[in-house]
Amino acid sequence: MHDLPAPIRPQIADMPGSRIRQVSEGAFHRPGLVPLWFGESDRATPQFICDAASRAMREGHTFYTPNRGIPELRQTIATYLTGLGRRAIDVERVNVTASGVSAIMMIMEAIVDPGDNVVLVTPVWPNCSDAVEAMGGEARRVALVPTDAGWTLDLDRLFAAVDARTRGILVNTPGNPTGWMARGEDLRAILDFCRAKRIWLIADEVYERLVYDRAVSPSPLDVAGPDDPVISINSFSKAWCMTGWRLGWMIAPPALGDTLGKINEFNMSGATTFVQHGGIAAIREGEPFVAEIVAQYGRARDMVIQRLRSLPRVRMPMPEAAFYAFFQVDGIHDSLALARRIVNEAGVGLAPGIAFGPEGEGWLRLCFAASLPKLGDALDRLAKQLA
């Protein structure tokens, strides 16, 4: 960092930064571009959620809130999660956060000392490992195994990666970029292991509603009690199309609540007040919308898989959940270069697999949370490009 007038930490200086943005920057305003690189729907937030936030603003909900969130939202989240058919969630376990990623960073601040490690199931979206490394920790990667049927997790390898300096296991399920969904019995085994080792099981479950053969994905919350070492992270971004709102939550043991509030104080001092009111409306009135987008994404998934798999150079495990097609292209060893070539030559914006770790090299991620015509157009172009 020779241009800087004073030093910054090597950990931070050495981070590569988003490889997705390295593809998108400069190409964003390309005419005719079909951007499928980011993890967000092309649909704006439903109007009833916007209306609730606007109303809250007008009514003067513009002051600081408690660090753990306004009581009404915390209760609404507790009721919602309990209604998903898992074990009941008490409001004392609910911590509102200004996004899922903010929750992950705050957890790493809580548990990771320099030299500690957190074991991650990979490939995984890069912010998880960046947050560990920002705290001076090691992000220890255990790769899922791709098969034509889907992705599989080797529990023996996962547990073998844990050592005396491991402070937690982070499982992003359903997973970004893979669409992998942890099985209930695997989550139970991981929970038992974490209990015995006294390490945290951190579950990033922001895609839990974007599932195609059931109502909600398996979760550690199916089996964990309130005092188990489980922190479940969630977000309004994906199920309610609220990426730009920056609102999420954590379910954590009640004994951790004061600590999480304290950490939130010097990170964010709470989530945006009227955004929290929008979150209440999203949960209370949003089920028809969630059903509608899941149906849409399900149709998109079917089409995208069928068409990608028909390409001779493409190999793709079935994404069981979430809204990504993560596929391998035969003969490719530089996914960043390929993604750049595709955006420049075909006008389709994809995320390079290397963005999700070394085990993603040679792969590409396509977000299918877009209209069928738009996806069809992108697939036509991709088919030519990858021919």
Among 34, 73, 98, 367, binds its own copies (CB under 8 A): 98
Contact flag: residue 69 with its own copies (CB under 8 A): no
- State the nearest-atom distance from the C-beta of 242 to its own copies, in Å: 7
Count residues near its own copies (CB under 8 A).
84
Question: Binding to its own copies (CB under 8 A): which residues in 283-312?
Answer: none
Contact flag: residue 173 with its own copies (CB under 8 A): no
Contact flag: residue 62 with its own copies (CB under 8 A): yes
Rounded Cα distance, 308 and 314, in Å: 7
- Helix 372-385 to helix 287-309 angle (10° resolution) is 20
Question: Binding to its own copies (CB under 8 A): which residues in 228-257?
Answer: 228-229, 241-246, 253, 255-256
Question: Binding to its own copies (CB under 8 A): which residues in 15-44?
Answer: 15, 17-18, 38, 40, 44
Contact flag: residue 263 with its own copies (CB under 8 A): yes
Contact flag: residue 103 with its own copies (CB under 8 A): no
Contact flag: residue 60 with its own copies (CB under 8 A): yes
Among 182, 199, 203, 379, binds its own copies (CB under 8 A): 199
Among 23, 36, 45, 124, binds its own copies (CB under 8 A): 45
User: Which CB atom, from 230 or from 316, has the smaller least distance to its own copies?
Assistant: 230
- Burial call 349-384: b when 16+ CB within 10 Å, e when fewer: bbbbbbbbbebbbbbbbbbbbbeeeebbbbbebbee
User: Which CB atom, from 222 or from 228, has the smaller least distance to its own copies?
Assistant: 228
- State the nearest-atom distance from the C-beta of 116 to its own copies, in Å: 9
Q: In what order do the strands lie in the sheet with 324-329?
A: 314-315, 324-329, 363-367, 351-352
DSSP H stretches of helix in 310-371: 335-345
Rounded Cα distance, 143 and 209, in Å: 24
β-partners of residue 321 are 211
Closest CA to 106 of 254, 262, 315: 262
DSSP, res 84: T
Contact flag: residue 90 with its own copies (CB under 8 A): no
β-strands 94-97, 117-122 pairing: unpaired
Among 150, 184, 261, 298, binds its own copies (CB under 8 A): 261
